[in-house]
Structure 1
Amino acid sequence: MEKRVQSAFASAGKDELWEGYGSRAKINQLLYNWLDFVSPLRFCMVMLFDSLILFTLSLSFLARFSNAATHGTLHRRSYFYVGQTYAAQGNSSIAFGQIYVEHLTPAKVTQPHPLLIIHGHGMTGTNFLNTPDGRLGWTDYFLCKGYELYLVDQPSRGRSPWQKDIDGAQSAYDTFTIESHFTATQLHNLWPQAALHTQWPGNGSVGDPTFDNVFASTTPSLDSDAETATKMQAAGAKLLDQIGPVILLTHSQSGQHGWLLGDAKPSKIKAIVALEPIGPPFKNAVFPPFAAARDYGLTDIPITYSPAVTSPEDIARVIVSSTSSFTCFQQASPPRKLVNLAHIPVLIVTSESSYHTIYDGCSAQYLKQAGVSVEHINLGDVGIHGNGHMMFMEKNGLQIADEVVEKWISKTLHD
């Protein structure tokens, strides 16, 4: 795995060595103008000068990036905001609904479509930068594979402002929730597969440096998933108009944002990779109370069905399986189709020890029944064991990025 990541750095082209020095064409033109007066051998001299500069810069480049696989991938970082709306406040106005977008561009872009990454509940886009114990994260992996990246903070959290007079109420995760659901599930055993969790870096409990780091990164989020979905769809659609088409990568709560953005802008999304997307259809599972949720199947707000749906009651549903902690609903026959998602290939990835092992299959089947092309990969079934809900932070996170996610993207879009 390490050799595969290192090899991506070795493929860096020599054009990016000229960054910050002006274009080679401009430098050569200046030399031509000068040499016109002093030498009939200008071409040879320019080529020699070009070669000497390139050699010098190459030595500098090699010295700086000989340990690239350890220190990360050469890239340019910028940021911007999109999606704001102005609301009157006194004699002036304020902005709300905007999302922070971090744009990372590798020195050499080799992939035709960028990745747009949306984090889950209580988190921000920092989830995917480096891991909480300081290792390279998924952003470095995909940068070294030549992908341009966009990472957002969902509306009203993190670097996307929350306006107390406009936005809804917020709440934050406590330490028990993070420990028992994400980082130390094997110590709490709240669902049958929780004991299989082995890949978290550290003991996953308060006082462990890795846990303390990830918990410090959590942030209050809107209590209403419907409000979050509405604002993320509005801002995300504007972002897609600006940067699309993209490959969309979602995690957990943002799973429904993937379906809603695909519905709003189907031509702007080439594929969706959903890491343990929020589910299952229509009703919460695993953690009581098992309340009704996601009135439109896998979304809290309207999504386009054919035949059309005017209210959630139009979606006839049946129970196909049920346990004490989980009920799997599908549509009654004949099922309505999610027509705007029909031509977007989808990958759902589920970890071996996560609570999502209980119901992600039901969510995948709901999409398939609605006409969506879905591949569902359980990591344990492909020999990747011990992961939890935060798979991209875990010890074998780069293996998942390489052997599952990027492999599927390449197979689906590039073969």
Structure 2
Amino acid sequence: MAVLSRLASGLALCLGLVSAQSTDCTGINAVSPKCASSETTFQRDVFYVGGRWIDNDYTSGNVTADQLYVEKLTPAGGVTQDKPLVFFHGGAVSGVQWLNTPDGRKGFASYFLDQGYIVYLLDHTGAGRSSQEDTTDYTLWNSTTVEGLVSGFTAPELNPTYPQAVLHTQWPGTGQKGDPYFTAFSKWVIPFTENWAYGETSMRASGCALLELLGPSYLISHSSGAQYPIVISNDCPQYVAGNINLEHSTQPFWNYGTTLNSGSDFRLWGLANTYLSYDPPVSNYTELNKTWVGNDTLASRRCYLQAEPARQLPNITSVPYLCLTGEASVHATYDHCVIEFLEQAGGSPTWIKMADRNIHGNGHFSMLELNNLEIAAVVHEWIQEQEGNSDSSSSGSSSGSPSSWPWAVICFFDPTLPECS
């Protein structure tokens, strides 16, 4: 009877696998126990790094503040890379953005686990599983609307506010309300702290505390998450093997509006909202002299840079720096400003425009788009070059204005550009 029972169990398992193969396992349907995971097998450990006890106004004791959630993923197939990767998510989301995509495909974390890296996923202080009881300092901001997700990230081509938006093709599904993949993505959005200076202060302390435990690591960030590797590179550059940015939201001194000559002062220390170690040193950001450079067009925004002679940022520029920009993202219009600022400050950053690698159609959340693993491969290649494991060289431009987009399309929207004459 025991043998028959085992045979019956095996038959049931086989039938279950057949059923799983015929089940729709895309998007939210993949939650079914009949669906196999698209993610790489790993071992997981969870930690909280940094933090301190503070008095609480509403109780008679202390509460913990500034703690940083850290999720360690170790590839089940074994570690083959010398240095780990630490991932910093963008604003309004959490570390989940590095896992499987909204339509259920393999994400960045799994790709790099497949390459033999240990992967660390963070939830920034004040976000996700690093939410704070210190609600006085970590005031929350409802960061974006569903409509804002559509116009800014998932379907900017429908109502383009910049010329390159019409080139967007890589978001899975329609990118609009009613599409199941868009619905899944919209549920990732969470509030985060609007106290940018306080968030940076806690992340630079907890971030360096983490890297002191890990040793030299590659930091990979997206969007506003890029401000944290900047301040960490400023404070403990000896632990940063490389600063890798998927569309850095560290535009110097300024947040751009959607119309010409619009925006607001931000990141008053240049690339950050808090102190940076300039040479010659400054005690206050008001000592920094800045000036507008270039003409403001919707295809290529003018830059707020230091007035010459520019102060240097020796700690930050000692760290190898990479930025990757999608062909159809709004960042195609102003990522060059960060590159130019870093060059002014003594750095030699690398800027790879994905179209130069024949990777086309990407918006701002490229790690979730249909060709996400192609982009991950570019990051892996760059890391291997830094480690001396590859003879290939980057074909991306190191600086300058956008060069690889179809100018026939761009000139239709902005015929005043020099390239359109």
Fold in common (TM above 0.5): yes
Structure 2: distance between partners of 1:124 and 1:390: 13
- Asked whether the 8 Å contact 1:259–1:341 carries over to 2, the reply is yes
Are 1:296 and 2:269 counterparts? Answer: yes
Please list, as runs of the form range in 1=range in 2, the aligned pairs for 1:302-317 lying within 5 A after superposition: 302-317=275-290
Structure 2: distance between partners of 1:157 and 1:274: 20
Please list, as runs of the form range in 1=range in 2, the aligned pairs for 1:4-403 lying within 5 A after superposition: 71-89=38-56, 90-107=59-76, 108-163=78-133, 164-287=135-258, 290-323=263-296, 326-402=301-377
Q: Could you report, residue by residue, the CA deviation over 1:160-179 in whole angstroms, capped at 9, with x for unpaired residues?
A: 12322442232232111111
> How large is the RMSD of aligned CA atoms in angstroms?
1.8
Q: Which moved more, 1:300-309 or 1:235-244?
A: 235-244
Q: Which moved more, 1:72-81 or 1:98-107?
A: 72-81
SS at match of 1:81: strand
Counterpart of 1:408 in structure 2 is 382
Q: Could you report, residue by residue, the CA deviation over 1:137-191 in whole angstroms, capped at 9, with x for unpaired residues?
A: 0111000100001000011111112322442232232111111111011112121
Q: Which moved more, 1:371-380 or 1:393-402?
A: 371-380
SS at match of 2:265: coil
Structure 2: distance between partners of 1:400 and 1:184: 20
1:279 shift after superposition: 3.3
Give the letter aligned to residue 331 of structure 2. H
Q: Could you report, residue by residue, the CA deviation over 1:79-104 in whole angstroms, capped at 9, with x for unpaired residues?
A: 11112111123321111111111100
Structure 2: distance between partners of 1:360 and 1:411: 23
1:318 shift after superposition: 2.3
SS at match of 2:359: coil
Give the letter aligned to residue 91 of structure 1. S
Structure 1: distance between partners of 2:376 and 2:176: 26
Q: Which moved more, 1:166-175 or 1:241-250?
A: 166-175
- Asked whether the 8 Å contact 2:317–2:342 carries over to 1, the reply is no
1:258 shift after superposition: 1.1
Give the letter aligned to residue 215 of structure 2. G
Q: Which moved more, 1:167-176 or 1:331-340?
A: 167-176
Structure 1: distance between partners of 2:177 and 2:52: 40
Structure 1: distance between partners of 2:125 and 2:71: 14
1:324 shift after superposition: 5.8
Unaligned runs of 5+ in 1: 1-66
Give the letter aligned to residue 165 of structure 2. A
SS at match of 1:356: helix
Structure 2: distance between partners of 1:205 and 1:128: 22
Give the letter aligned to residue 135 of structure 1. R
Q: Which moved more, 1:283-292 or 1:251-260?
A: 283-292
Unaligned runs of 5+ in 2: 1-20, 22-35, 390-421
- Gap change, CA 1:225 and 1:287, over 3 Å in 2: farther
1:414 shift after superposition: 2.7
1:374 shift after superposition: 0.5
SS at match of 1:120: coil
- Gap change, CA 1:138 and 1:147, over 3 Å in 2: same
1:409 shift after superposition: 0.8
Structure 1: distance between partners of 2:266 and 2:167: 28
Q: Could you report, residue by residue, the CA deviation over 1:55-84 in whole angstroms, capped at 9, with x for unpaired residues?
A: xxxxxxxxxxxx9x9743232011111121
Structure 2: distance between partners of 1:322 and 1:285: 14
Structure 2: distance between partners of 1:160 and 1:284: 26
Structure 2: distance between partners of 1:367 and 1:346: 9
- Asked whether the 8 Å contact 1:272–1:346 carries over to 2, the reply is yes
- Structure with bigger gyration radius: 1
Question: Scaled by the length of structure 2, what TM-score is found?
Answer: 0.79
Size of the alignment, in residue pairs? Answer: 348
SS at match of 1:284: strand
Choose between structure 1 and 2: higher helix proportion.
1
